[in-house]
Amino acid sequence: MELSNKVAVVTGSSRGIGRAVAVELARRGADVVVNYAGNAEAAEETAGAVRAAGSRAMTVQADVADQQQVNDMMQLVLREWGRIDILVNNAGITRDNLLPRLREEDWDAVLNVNLKGAYNCARAVIRPMLKARWGRIINISSVVGLTGNAGQANYAAAKAGLLGFTKSLARELGSRNITVNAVAPGYIATDMTAGLAEETKGEILNRVALGRLGAPEEVAAVVAFLAGEGAGYITGQVITVDGGMGI
C-alpha cells in the first residue's frame, strides 16, 4: 500500500481511463476524489469501486474549464481530507472535424477542457503541495499530441500543449520535490474509441505493433507508478502507452 495516507484527485474519472486510474490508485492505498462533469451515476460507480478497493472516495462535480469550480472543488477536498498529494489531469473531450469545417466553438471547447483544465487544476493544487514539499502531477496526453491526426487539429493541439506544460511545470516545481510527468496513451478500449468504424479500427490496429487496442488498466498502471515513491527521480517525462504504435 505504497500510497497509504495520500489523497489523489483524478479529473474526468467517471469512466474509461480516469476510472481505471482512480481504482488503481485506491488499490495502492490512496483516497480518491472522483471528479466528473455531468454523469453523477457513473461517478458513483467509480466511487463504489474505489471503496471496494479499500480506500475512501469523494465525488465532486466540477467543470475543469471553469477556474472557480476547480478552486471550489480543491478547497472542499482540503477542508474534508486536509491534503492533496496527487493530481491526475485526465478530463478530456473531443469535437472532431477537418479544419475547414471545424467550428470556433469546438476549437475553444476542446482547448478549454483538455489544456486549460490542466492549468486550472494544477494551479489550484500547487500551494498545498509546496507546503507539504511533496507532490505528483500526472497529465494524460495522447499519442495524437505527438503525431497529429487528420480531423483532430483541436485535440492534437491541446494534447501537444500538455507536453510543453508538463516540462515547464516540472522545471518550476522540481526543487520542492514535486514531480510532473505526462502519459500519452495510444488507442485504448474506451467509450471514446467504441464508436469508431470497424474499417477505422482495422487501420489503427495495422499500425500497432502489439496488434490490439490497449486496456484502461494498462494506462492506469503507468500512472500509479508515476504517483509512487519509486518514480521520485522521474520528472518532465512523456511516457507513451501505445502498443508500439509510435515505433
pLDDT in tens, 195-226: 677 777 788 889 999 999 999 999 999 999 99
pLDDT digits (tens, 9 = 90+) for 102-138: 999 999 999 999 999 999 999 999 999 999 999 999 9
Q: Residue 204: what pLDDT?
A: 83
CA triple 25-65-222, angle to 5 deg: 25
Q: Residue 70: what pLDDT?
A: 98
**Does 191 have pLDDT greater than 90?**
no
Q: Is 188 helix (H, G, I), strand (E, B) or coil?
A: strand
Percent pLDDT > 90 in the chain is 89
pLDDT digits (tens, 9 = 90+) for 16-53: 999 999 999 999 999 999 999 999 999 999 999 999 99
What crossing angle do the helices spanning 153-173 and 104-111 adopt, rounded to 10°? Answer: 30
How far lies 47's CA from each of 54, 100, 184, 238, in Å? 11, 41, 25, 28
Band the pLDDT of 1: cuts 50, 70, 90.
confident
pLDDT digits (tens, 9 = 90+) for 23-32: 999 999 999 9
Q: Catalytic annotation on 155? A: yes
Place of cell 467517471: 14
Band the pLDDT of 60: cuts 50, 70, 90.
very high
Q: Residue 235: what pLDDT?
A: 98
pLDDT digits (tens, 9 = 90+) for 220-239: 999 999 999 999 999 999 99
Quick one: which of 170, 192, 150 has its CA closest to 238? 170
Q: Residue 202: what pLDDT?
A: 83
Which of these ranges, 28-32, 52-56, 86-90, 190-194, has the smallest mean pLDDT?
A: 190-194
| Domains assigned to the chain | 7-241 (3.40.50.720)
CA triple 128-36-50, angle to 5 deg: 75
Q: Residue 78: what pLDDT?
A: 98
Q: Residue 176: what pLDDT?
A: 97
Mean of per-residue pLDDT scores for the chain:
95
Quick one: which of 84, 72, 64 has its CA closest to 18? 64
Residue from 36, 119, 155, 187 carrying the catalytic annotation: 155
Q: Residue 226: what pLDDT?
A: 98
